[in-house]
Structure 1
Amino acid sequence: MASNKPAPEAPSRFGSDFTTEYASGTDTESGTALTAEFGTEGLGGTDRSWEEWNPTEESVRPVRGRHRVAKQRNGLARSSTVLGVGVIAAVGAGGMATAQSKPPVSISLPDSLADKLPDANSLPGVGALFSEESAADQAQTAAAPLTSAGITTAEAEQGATDAGEALRARILQQAEQQQSAADAEAKAAEEKAAAEKAAAEAKQKQDVAEAKAEAKAEAAKKKAEEEAKAKAEAERLAKLAASYAIPTSSYTITSTFGQAGSMWSSGYHTGLDFAAPTGTPIKAVHTGTIKSAGWSGSYGYRTVLELEDGTELWFCHQSSINVSVGQKVTTGETIGRVGATGNVTGPHLHLEVHTSSGTGIDPMTWLRDKGLTP
């Protein structure tokens, strides 16, 4: 890199050459003789001692003239070496512009003047601006280009030397990280929504399955209860059937209870008719006592059997009676025979059932309650 040629040294009145060459003689322009007041003893020919320099507003004013001393922090430029660097960072639509460096400009000062300049660290209020870094660190900092300012150690290890590009890379990396975080958050939200939907569907299916299972279990329970009830009823009827019997055999049911007709004086049939041949045996339906036995008008020959609970069974239209009043009979015992006596159209057994209060009920229903099927 090219640099400006150093300016020639100007004679100093503080140097020995100036004292010897210019302290005496004649001014070439005015013709006035020069005295030795600018000798080695200082101005005015008197011996003056140098005091500690205390910078004031007048003494720290910038030097006007061709040569200027650039003062920079952190040891970037000291004494006769000045490092001039221009750094431009611009942000545009396309990104961050690269910082460009300017060539350094060398400025030299006479050694006689440079040697007598005070040390910056000794200046009141100025020395604090300089860090207490070592000379090696200062040299390394001064040697480092300003374009590397702001580059992290990791970026420097990766070979990054341009601060603008490093900043641009960090911005892009941060944008990518933010985009990745947003994508991850969106994906997590989608996964959460999908999981919640799947859980809701699974719960709904589970509820439906549980409802079906519960309904099935309830139906099975109800069926089992009904079956158990039917079984118990069958057992009960079987047990009753062992102690009850159909009143005759080889019969045909011709008229039922409540059937309407003019041939019955009440206007409806009051019993159950078993049509059978004359002389067919009539059996005691259940164990009981003969309450009456004999002729009974339109009923013909009739036998009344009273059971233990007070129920009365009427056996009517018999051709003959085989029992007497007060006699104890058992289930299946013959108490008479089928006939056609009384108000009849043919031989049959007319059976009526009366409760203990005297109310007539349907014989068919009563027999079925006892486990019998006429």
Structure 2
Amino acid sequence: MASNPPAPEAPFAPSRQHGETFGYDSRRADEGPWEEWNPTAESIRPVRGRHRVAKQRGGGLARSSTVLGVGVIAAVGAGGMASANSGKPPVSISLPDLPSVGSLFEDSSDTAPEGSSTALSGVGVTATEADHGTSDAGEVLRNRIMAQAEQQQVQIEAKAQADAEAAAAKKAAEEAAKARETAEAKAAAEKKKAEEEAKRKAEEAARKAEEARLAELARQYALPTSSYTLTSTFGQAGSMWSSGYHTGLDFAAPTGSLLKAIHTGTITEAGWAGSYGYRTILTLEDGTELWYCHQSSISVSVGQKVSTGEVIGRVGATGNVTGPHLHLEVHQGGQSTGIDPMAWLRGKGITP
């Protein structure tokens, strides 16, 4: 290592009026002013690591400052990107307090004394990271930023998955509700159809039962005559009837046509009846009276029992008539006013 050459003159000593010197917080005793000094071999010592350390620390400061700056820019950029992508507030990043520039040059030894400022290359480095050889603060900060970004990405993906599962559950619920409504509508339609079918069958059964009843009655009842024509019906209005309307049902037939008992009963009247001509009254067991009017002859007598279809007289034109016919009236319960003979006969299974 070369020795320092002798100095021809004392270097410039800065005045105290200029304030603090470069690299230090205050003026130090070894900054001058100096007296003329002629070094000897005994007074010259090999240059130790102070100046080199200061130079190396200066280089380290530049490199660490550059990396730290890049790390901070990356942190800000990553935080902004994460905030923009996820819609969450930006992640706050805390940086340790950096030592002042003067304090970096204040330590002239290779090892910093206890209580000194933190070295720039160790900013944000944990003991574990130091043990593993991690000495670059920017790299550590970048790793942490990337870890935070990955964590945010995981949260975003988890939220997206949760939203997708919620949407799928909602869709499944809607489909289930729609299927339930369809099933209920189908069940209601089937129930209505079954009810209508049951009603139809009930009506059909009732109709068949009525037909059977009427058929049975028809065997017990008979038409009063044959080879006839219906000329006047019940309730028909006209001046030829004293009541102003027709009170029975007229069966026009040739004179002498046989008149038969409609149902089993007892003869309660047989003889002349004024405008009705010759009339026979057949009283049934329930008290209903059947009036046979305008007869040409009577074949039974009062109190006689007759059966269904038995001859009781013949068609004629006696009384107030315009031609030979049977005037049939039906009186229920001894009433003087009759009912419609057509409806009564149909109720017994007979259709004139």
- Fold equivalence (TM over 0.5): yes
1:324, distance to aligned residue in structure 2 (A): 1.0
Question: Does 2:136 correspond to 1:147?
Answer: yes
Q: How does 1:287-306 map to 2 (within 5 A)?
A: 287-306=264-283
Aligned residue type for 1:145:
T
Aligned residue type for 1:321:
I
Counterpart Cα distance in 1 of 2:203 and 2:244:
40
Secondary structure of residue in 2 paired with 1:94: helix
Return the match for 1:268 from 245, 251, 255: 245
Match for residue 315 of structure 1? 292
Q: Deviations over 1:241-261 (max 9, x none)?
A: 110111111111110111110
Q: How does 1:41-120 map to 2 (within 5 A)?
A: 86=64, 88=68, 89-92=71-74, 93-95=76-78
Question: Does 2:175 correspond to 1:198?
Answer: yes
Q: Show structure 1 runs of 5+ residues with no match.
A: 6-65, 68-82, 100-104, 110-119, 121-125, 127-137, 150-161
Q: Deviations over 1:147-182 (max 9, x none)?
A: 389xxxxxxxxxxxx423422321221122111112
Q: How does 1:321-332 map to 2 (within 5 A)?
A: 321-332=298-309
Match for residue 253 of structure 1? 230
1:280, distance to aligned residue in structure 2 (A): 1.2
Counterpart Cα distance in 1 of 2:143 and 2:327:
121
Counterpart Cα distance in 2 of 1:304 and 1:142:
137
Aligned residue type for 2:326:
L
Match for residue 131 of structure 1? none
Return the match for 1:220 from 197, 202, 227: 197
- Give yes or no for contact 2:289–2:334 (8 Å, CA) kept in 1: no
Using a 3 Å threshold, how does the CA distance of structure 1 residues 203 and 108 change in structure 2: closer, same or farther? closer
Q: Scaled by the length of structure 2, what TM-score is found?
A: 0.64
Secondary structure of residue in 2 paired with 1:90: helix
- Give yes or no for contact 2:78–2:149 (8 Å, CA) kept in 1: no
Secondary structure of residue in 2 paired with 1:298: helix
Return the match for 1:364 from 335, 342, 349: 342
Match for residue 347 of structure 1? 324
- Give yes or no for contact 2:260–2:312 (8 Å, CA) kept in 1: yes
1:107, distance to aligned residue in structure 2 (A): 5.9
Q: Deviations over 1:39-94 (max 9, x none)?
A: xxxxxxxxxxxxxxxxxxxxxxxxxxx96xxxxxxxxxxxxxxx999583425443
Q: Deviations over 1:218-243 (max 9, x none)?
A: 21122122111111111111111110
Match for residue 70 of structure 1? none
Using a 3 Å threshold, how does the CA distance of structure 1 residues 236 and 141 change in structure 2: closer, same or farther? same
Q: Scaled by the length of structure 1, what TM-score is found?
A: 0.61
Aligned length: 254
1:357, distance to aligned residue in structure 2 (A): 3.1
1:195, distance to aligned residue in structure 2 (A): 1.8
Give every structure 1 segment of 4 or more consecutive aligned residues whose post-TM-superposition deviation is greater than 2 Å: 83-89, 91-97, 105-109, 140-143, 145-149, 162-166
Match for residue 241 of structure 1? 218
- Give yes or no for contact 2:134–2:140 (8 Å, CA) kept in 1: no
Q: Show structure 2 runs of 5+ residues with no match.
A: 2-48, 51-59, 80-92, 96-106, 116-126
Aligned residue type for 1:90:
V
Using a 3 Å threshold, how does the CA distance of structure 1 residues 250 and 175 change in structure 2: closer, same or farther? same
Counterpart Cα distance in 2 of 1:299 and 1:283:
18
1:200, distance to aligned residue in structure 2 (A): 2.4
- Aligned-residue RMSD, C-alpha: 3.4
1:360, distance to aligned residue in structure 2 (A): 1.0
1:141, distance to aligned residue in structure 2 (A): 5.3
